[in-house]
Amino acid sequence: MQPKQLGNYRPARGVYSSMRRGAELVFLCCAAFGQGSQDDPVQSKLSAIPKARSEGRFADAVALREDVRRLLDVVPVSSPRFAGWALAVAQSYTEVGWTARARAVLQAAVERTGSLGVTSPARVQLLAAIATSWQEDQNLPKAVEYLERAEAARALLHDVPHSGSRIRQESFGAEAFFARELYERLSGLQQQLGHPDAAAEWKRKLRDLAAKQGDRELAQHFEREEQFGEAAAIYRRAVQQAATPQEAIEMLQSLAGVLERDERFDEAIAAQRQAIARSENREQAAGARQALAQTLQQAGRTEEAEAVYQEILTVSSGESQLPTLAMYANFLSSTNRGPQALALLKGVETSGALRTEWEDTVLYGALANCSRGLGQDEQAAKYETLIRAKHPALRSELDTLPCGDELFEKAESAVREGRAGEAFDLAVRALDAARRWENRDEIGWQIPLIAAGITAKGNPRQAELLFQSAISLAESWSEDAVQPLLNLLSGRLMALIDDPNRHGEARAEIGRYRELLVAAHGADSGMLEGELRMAIALGRPSAIPALDLVAYEETVNGGTSEPYVHALETLAEIYEEKQDWEAAVQVRKRIVQHGDLVYPAGDPQRGQTRVDLAMALANLGQFEDAESLALEATSVANGERKTPGVSFEGALEQIRQMRATSASLKPGRLPA
């Protein structure tokens, strides 16, 4: 059983999802401006933190983190490593859930860069990292504020003349890459805030930046924006202007890829055939033929794809032969010829031909995929075991799991198989092991899942005991890592809310959860949305908590933002549950209005907001307006391009049936 996703609970596993974007930004900043060696005093202290945590010395881990924070305050801001140090120290807080403390580290570092002047690369990196932190903590206006400051600092840095033209040329590519990252994020955030004009302006800057980098980058920009016609036109021109046959082939293959994404398969196939014709050697031709076969398959021209694969197999040899066979086997499996694919691969396995370790990996991987496609999961697992046997490093990673992890996996299996008592015993043992377990923070994800499953099997008391034990354990190291405790409190709150007899306990616990959210993420973050949504679930069918959420999102993210629209949707759902259709219609009208600001043209969400309003109008008996909106939904959602899998015909039919039923029940009329 999967628990409902409320509050701070996230389905991600491993290290917290909130740190992923930050880690990416750190990488981008380092790539753009360069960092020094990791062999430094700050890094040496940071490296000691995970060791202390793995040994259960949580107080030492906290002390080490505070020591390195104080060390950062006195290291020279002029050092080329300064920004990297600050980012690493902040990350040590972020990865354990203390994001407000991470921002404090970054903010202090930014203030120190003031002594370097406005053209400091460190300042750009740090401002961008603060923006990332605010974005992860769901305060979009603050994220925009700091990204705009980062871009202003980057632009000033870009305008400063360098001492050598070679240095300037070498830095341009990385600098442009970082600028594109900033522009893309600003455009996306402004769209989320319901500022389409500002989003369009950043998109224009993105286009201008791409144009400065040449036709290939401009074409790729149009691809990212799904403006395939513009991208195709540039690639066609580039083919004509190509300086070498290799460049022409690359442009033809890029052209074919764009045309395929645009479902212009005949033109894509023609471009691939041109690439084959221009190939100067066997390897080039083989790669182009493989791309052609895949395009033919995508176009539904299976027989032609088969012929191309046969042609590839005829000319392939040496190291390219086995990967080609694996690709062909995948083609057979995807065209309902799994047994034939498996027989082909098994023939290779038993042929007695000598294979390298890499070729074994390719072969057994293909055999595992084919076996799994035929429902032979046990055989697929055996092939995967053979792969690990060929790679000791992989075997160590996959097979030598920590004790706690093994116990949790067994507990999850027991829950799925209905053995709730055994699952409880295993989870208790896992918690005891977690005291000595390097990945102990996983209990924040594992325990709510197992407890929910135990409750579903009719053992809520055992689930509560499990929560209490895990919460007590997580509290003992919460000063070091707060995220596990947040996840556990969230999971227990959901369990309390699901039990009508325990709503009093839930109300008391919500306050505790809120306090911890503020301590971890700061009063200005948007993370309190989780606590407010729990209050909504607890307070149903009252609309008051939902109104509180609407007011909160308006304060934090603004009255035109996507979080505000989502809050309005929650309020509308409450009114609909109460069958207060007049109130629901009024809220749904606001959602349509704001949704057109938040969702760009062609986004299916534009159609969905209209359908939701149409259904509310139909329940109010306003069928003419409801039908009109349902008809409008598809055209508004798709724009000039039809979105695969998006259709609102079912909603339109339902509204018409409701209208017919209503008419048949009116006095003086016979049922239709």
Rounded to an integer, what distance in angstroms lies between the CA atom of residue 393 and that of residue 317? 30
328: tokens are 């062909």
130 is a domain residue: yes
Name the phi and psi angles at 300, rounded to 5. 85, 10
Cis peptide upstream of residue 448 (ω within 30 degrees of 0): no
Q: Kindly state the average pLDDT of the residues 298-303.
A: 89
Q: Is 111's pLDDT higher than 70?
A: yes
Q: Distance between CA 226 and CA 149 in Å, rounded?
A: 29
Q: What is the pLDDT of residue 147?
A: 97
- Rounded to whole angstroms, the Cα distance separating 291 from 299 reads 12
pLDDT of residue 128: 96
pLDDT digits (tens, 9 = 90+) for 331-352: 888 888 989 888 988 888 888 7
Domain extent at residue 40: 8-213
Q: Where does a domain end: 481, 515, 549?
A: 515
Tokens of 184: 């893309």
Q: Could you tell me the two tokens for 366? A: 């293909």
Cα 604 from Cα 596, distance rounded (Å):
11
pLDDT above 70 covers a percentage of the chain that reads 85
Question: Which of 109-118, 169-178, 237-246, 519-528 shows the lowest per-residue confidence on average (mean pLDDT)?
Answer: 169-178
pLDDT of residue 638: 57
Domains in the chain, number: 2
Tokens coding 445: 């994800």
Per-residue pLDDT, averaged over 41-54, amounts to 87
Instruction: Give the pLDDT score at 36.
Output: 40
Q: Of the residues 193, 213, 233, which one is the last residue of a structural domain?
A: 213
pLDDT band at 160 (very low <50, low <70, confident <90, very high): low
What is the arithmetic mean of pLDDT over 126-136?
Answer: 97
- Helix or strand holding residue 261 (H, E): helix 245-261
130 touches 102 (CB < 8 A): no
Helices in 4-139 by DSSP H: which ranges? Answer: 20-33, 41-54, 58-74, 82-94, 99-113, 121-136
Half-sphere exposure of 326 (CA within 13 A, CB side): 18
Local structure of residue 320 (DSSP, 8 states): G
Q: Which stretches within 279-337 are classed as H helix?
A: 282-298, 302-315, 321-334
Separation of alpha carbons 362 and 370, rounded Å: 12
Helix (H, G, I), strand (E, B) or coil at 604: helix
Q: Please, what sign has the CA dihedral across residues 337, 343, 349, 355?
A: negative
What is the pLDDT at residue 666?
67
pLDDT band at 282 (very low <50, low <70, confident <90, very high): confident
Which residue type occupies 325? L
Per residue in 558-586, pLDDT (tens digit) is: 999 999 999 999 999 999 999 999 999 99
Phi, psi dihedrals of residue 317, rounded to the nearest 5°: -160, 170
Contact 643/625 with Cβ under 8 angstroms? no
Examine the pLDDT at 669 and tell me if it is beyond 90: no
Give the Å distances, CA to CA, from 278 to 62, 249, 282, 288. Answer: 63, 7, 11, 10
Range in 17-26, 68-77, 347-356 the model is least confident about = 17-26
- Asked if the structure places residue 501 within a domain, the reply is yes
Cα separation, 303 vs 337, whole angstroms? 13
Domain boundary among 198, 213, 228: 213
Statement: residue 32 has pLDDT above 60: no
How much is the pTM? 0.80
Q: Is residue 470 part of a domain?
A: yes
291 with 305: CB under 8 angstroms? no
Closest by Cα among 466, 408, 399 to 437: 408
How confident is residue 170, by pLDDT bands cut at 50, 70 and 90?
A: very low
Q: Which of 297, 346, 303, 298 is nearest to 326 (CA)?
A: 346
Question: pLDDT digits over 379-430, tens only?
Answer: 888 888 887 776 554 444 434 444 556 788 888 888 888 888 898 999 888 8
Phi, psi for residue 671 in degrees, rounded to 5: -60, 140
Higher pLDDT, 357 or 370: 370
Q: Name the residue with higher pLDDT: 10 or 462.
A: 462
Q: What is the dihedral of CA 90, 94, 99, 101, to 10 degrees?
A: -40
The torsion region of residue 466 among left (phi > 0), alpha (psi -120 to 50) and beta comes to alpha
Name the band, by pLDDT with cuts 50, 70 and 90, for residue 38: very low
Q: Has residue 237 been placed in a domain?
A: no
Tell me whether residue 462 is in a domain: yes
Residue 369 domain flag:
no
- What pLDDT score does 430 carry? 86
pLDDT at 25 over 90: no
Q: What is the mean pLDDT of the chain?
A: 84
CA-based nearest residue to 315, from 303, 305, 324, 327: 324
Largest CA distance in the chain: 91
pLDDT band at 66 (very low <50, low <70, confident <90, very high): very high
Gap between the Cα atoms of 196 and 303, Å rounded: 47
CATH of the domain at 172: 1.25.40.10
Residue 536 pLDDT > 90, yes or no? yes
Looking at residue 393, its pLDDT comes to 47
- What's the CA angle centered on 588, arms 582 and 590, to 5 degrees? 115
Mean pLDDT of 148-171: 65
Both tokens of 408, joined, read 């949790």
pLDDT digits (tens, 9 = 90+) for 627-662: 999 999 877 765 555 565 567 888 999 999 999 998
- The DSSP symbol for 648 reads -
- Whether 282 maps to a domain, the answer reads no
Query: Mean pLDDT over residues 593-599, rounded?
Result: 96
Weakest-pLDDT range from 434-438, 507-511, 586-590, 648-652: 434-438
- Please indicate, yes or no, if residue 47 is contained in any of the structural domains: yes
DSSP-H helix ranges across 356-459 = 357-373, 377-390, 392-399, 403-416, 420-434, 443-456
Over residues 541-558, mean pLDDT: 97
Count the neighbouring beta carbons within 10 Å of the beta carbon of residue 396. Answer: 10
Would the pLDDT of 74 be above 50? yes
Say if residues 153 and 127 touch (Cβ distance below 8 Å).
yes
Lowest mean pLDDT among 341-350, 443-452, 544-553: 341-350
DSSP class of residue 3 equals P
Give the integer Cα–Cα distance in Å for 378 and 399.
17
Average pLDDT in the 67-94 region?
A: 93
Output the pLDDT for position 8. 38
CATH code of the domain in which 434 resides: 1.25.40
HSE, side-chain direction, 13 A CA sphere, residue 180: 20
